[in-house]
Amino acid sequence: MRCYGYALLKVSEDAPRSAKARIYKIMSGTTVSIRGRRYRARGLAEDVGGVRLADALYAIPYESMSKVLEKLSEKGLEGYVQTISLCTCTCEQ
């Protein structure tokens, strides 16, 4: 049985300010100006179909959570986030 739905990704309150800023930038995206033109890079939450609920809280589809955690671990930021499962079924998690 597969779990469908969302999991919450919460940035830890104890994380250093620089780590929080890097996580926000990765998850929410950024805007860059090059020669007077502005370009917007989509964030990881938008790429996987997730939603930003607050500054430090994101709702991510359950099946995309491994991709998000993998990307954060590549940057060395996985230790600063908490995963909260919203699955209410009795499947393995």
3-state SS of 1-15 is: CCCCCEEEEEECCCC
The 8 Å CB, 24+ separation contacts for 70-73 are 71/26, 71/44, 72/23, 72/26
The residue-averaged pLDDT of 26-43 equals 90
Residue 2 has pLDDT above 90, yes or no: no
Please give the mean pLDDT across all residues of the chain. Answer: 86
**In the predicted model, what is the mean pLDDT of residues 26-32?**
89
Q: Which of 4, 2, 14, 27 is nearest to 79 (CA)?
A: 14
Sequence letter at residue 56:
A
Longest dimension (CA), the chain: 54
Look at 4-13, 34-43, 81-90 and tell me which has the smallest mean pLDDT. Answer: 81-90
